[in-house]
Amino acid sequence: NAGVTQTPKFQVLKTGQSMTLQCAQDMNHNSMYWYRQDPGMGLRLIYYSASEGTTDKGEVPNGYNVSRLNKREFSLRLESAAPSQTSVYFCASGGRDRGNGETQYFGPGTRLLVL
Amino acid sequence: KNEVEQSPQNLTAQEGEFITINCSYSVGISALHWLQQHPGGGIVSLFMLSSGKKKHGRLIATINIQEKHSSLHITASHPRDSAVYICAVRPGGSEKLVFGKGTKLTVNP
């Protein structure tokens, strides 16, 4: 099992360009998440999807859109990139442990630089 | 004010030392997680706690629900334990995690 995979690993964009970050999981999890991680700050939730066909805003959704294409895939789109979106982006999926709630499994991250 | 506070922010230790990282939170929670972020960036879940104590190898995590506090202990620390340790809580009734800013641990040989 590959777990959670993300593409690309690294991307440089110019201000105003668009791009889509891809995420896929092979653990049959219902929940999937997109986070951003910035220096000196904790992981912040951008969007999440509790199940196939549903998406909800997190703490910092402005400037982003998401698509839960199917149970495996959850993509994050930047329609018009801004320098403030320079960050490391992590995708995660959530699996429910017996009696103990959900554990999240993280992808390797995408480093995005917006010039 | 951040809902999840970790201390210390940075910690340097000598190999073999006993390490404690603390996490305090301000909301009622259904679970608390400890995660490890390797120098290369990957994040893995170490523990999920709702009460008491859990142990895995040299790592021990405890939680005191009444005091809204958790600790992560590392016994006989090793340079390979060098990483950022992140505390995250799941507020009661929420599907989402709230993360602390992390504690950067460096263990010198």
Report the gap between the CA of A65 and the closest CA in chain B (Å).
Answer: 18
Q: Is B81 helix (H, G, I), strand (E, B) or coil?
A: helix
Among A10, A33, A43, A88, most B C-beta atoms within 10 A, so best to mutate, is A43
Split at pLDDT 50, 70, 90, the class of A95 is: confident
Q: How far is B84 from chain A (nearest CA, A)?
A: 11
d(CA B10, CA A60): 26
Q: Does A2 touch chain B (CB under 8 A)?
A: no
Q: Which residue of A has its CA nearest to B50?
A: A100
For residue A16, name the pLDDT band (cuts at 50, 70, 90).
very high
Place of tokens 């230790």: B13
How remote is the C-alpha of A3 from its chain's centroid? Answer: 14
pLDDT digits (tens, 9 = 90+) for A23-67: 999 999 999 999 999 988 889 999 999 999 899 999 999 999 999
Kind and range of the H or E run holding B4: strand B4-7
